[in-house]
Amino acid sequence: PMKVIPIPCLNDNFAYLLICPETNEAAVVDPSEYEPVFKEVQKRKVTLTTIFNTHHHWDHVGGNDELSRHFPGIKIHAHISDRDRVPGQTDFLEDGDFVQFGNQKGSILHNPGHTSGAITYLFGNMAFTGDTLFSGGCGRVFEGTMEQMHHSLNVKIGKLPDDTQLYFGHEYTENNLRFAQTLEPKNEDIQSQLTQIRKVRSEGKWSTPSLLSSERKINPFLRCHDQALQKHVIQKQPDTNLDPVSIFTVIRKLKDQF
Ligand code: FE
Ligand code: ZN
């Protein structure tokens, strides 16, 4: 099976080194910066052949140029619409396309919302979501509509199996869960997850990856159909419609101000 090594970058970003154990080839998801990725590649004695960018933001592509200088011929994947804004892009992906490095085969989901070219990479039961889905939260909606973001999270990612491991782009989990608690003060899953995450963080460890089955219980952006959550949102914003996209829109805006 493919091996995944989280590489903390910048303040709270994660790049991920993916290793094919059969060929010793490696790929990196979202190299924010060159140095920590290069160190991990050296330490693991693997051959880096591929970059997978989830979207064009600088904190996800910042290492592209220097990596392609040090690893000539490296392939750089991103969505087709990110042509001209992902440095060094060589592969232009569309929804459902297949990707490969070494003997590891994956596919992509187009997830517009955070940006118009945001994608999730799928390898078996592992999903690399960038800034679309975080543990306990989701990215800000910069380029897409609220409806698109809701669809990306709840339909496209939401249809993946419960045992999907989510490898996300930022360590925002504790803050996300504190916000989730304001929406669902009686949700015991959120309470116990918050306690657990605080322990993990105090030990200097990270919260990535997270299980999709657990996100369905604690992540408000996957719970817009939940009646207790809806009730709370109505208390805060009495004029809100009770459809999931309207609920989503309100909680995304509340999170922007949290
Ligand atoms: Fe981003
Ligand atoms: Zn980011």
Residues labelled catalytic? 55, 57, 59-60, 114, 131, 170
Dist. CA 212 → ligand 1 center (Å): 21
One digit per residue, the tens of pLDDT, for the chain of length 258 reads 999 999 999 999 999 999 999 999 999 999 999 999 999 999 999 999 999 999 999 999 999 999 999 999 999 999 999 999 999 999 999 999 999 999 999 999 999 999 999 999 999 999 999 999 999 999 999 999 999 999 999 999 999 999 999 999 999 999 999 999 999 999 999 999 999 999 999 999 999 999 999 999 999 999 999 999 999 999 999 999 999 999 999 999 999 999
d(CA 258, CA 247): 16
The answer to whether the bond into 220 is cis (omega within 30° of 0) is no
Among all ligands shown, which has an atom nearest to the Cα of 118?
Answer: 1
Dist. CA 54 → ligand 1 center (Å): 9
Dist. CA 14 → ligand 2 center (Å): 9
Alpha-carbon dihedral of residues 163, 164, 169, 172, nearest 10 degrees? -30
Phi then psi for 64, rounded to 5 degrees?
A: -55, -55
Dist. CA 170 → ligand 2 center (Å): 6
Round the CA-based radius of gyration of the chain to a whole number and report it: 18
